[in-house]
């Protein structure tokens, strides 16, 4: 059902965990499927220096969270806000149509974290 990239990011997720004293975090969930994710970011000179995640959900949700954290490191906050769910799905080599919502959650959690950071600053 899943390609090699999705399987790799699910079985060997990158950047799992909490960032202590994170500059911001964003949490989103989907009550229909039960997926829930929180993204933590550290920002240095306007760029995302570190991103970590905690995801409760299916393998596609974990893979999307993992890929998103890899994609966003080093990006400016404006660049992070332009990252779409389709960018994440494409980087994963595609997701089944029934799992696209997982990439939506990852993008939404990232955008929530950036909005929180901007609100705090």
What CA–CA distance (Å, rounded) separates 79 from 94? 22
pLDDT in tens, 4-50: 999 999 999 999 999 999 999 999 998 888 999 999 999 999 999 99
The CATH code of the domain that includes 81 is 3.90.1010.10
> In terms of residue numbers, what domain contains 72?
4-120
CA angle 10, 11, 14 (to 5 degrees): 70
* Counted domains in the chain: 1
Q: Just list the catalytic residues.
A: 33, 102
| pTM listed for this prediction | 0.95
What letter does residue 76 receive in the DSSP assignment?
Answer: B
pLDDT interval class at 52 (50, 70, 90):
very high
Measured between its terminal Cα atoms, the distance across the chain in Å is 43
pLDDT in tens, 74-114: 999 999 999 999 999 999 999 999 999 999 999 999 999 99
Give one DSSP letter per residue of 14-38, joined into a string: SSBS--TT-SEEEEEE-TTT--EEE
């Amino acid at each position: 059902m899943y390609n090699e990239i999705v399987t790799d990011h699910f079985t060997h997720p990158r950047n799992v965990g909490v960032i202590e004293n994170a500059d911001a975090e964003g949490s989103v969930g989907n009550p229909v499927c039960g997926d829930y994710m929180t993204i933590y970011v550290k920002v240095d000179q306007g760029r995302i220096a570190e991103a970590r995640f905690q995801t409760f959900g299916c393998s596609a949700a974990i893979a999307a969270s993992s890929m998103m954290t890899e994609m966003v490191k080093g990006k400016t906050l404006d660049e992070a806000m332009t990252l779409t769910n389709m960018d994440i799905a494409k980087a994963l080599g595609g997701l089944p149509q029934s799992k696209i919502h997982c990439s939506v959650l990852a993008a939404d959690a990232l955008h929530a974290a950036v909005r929180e950071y901007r609100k705090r600053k």
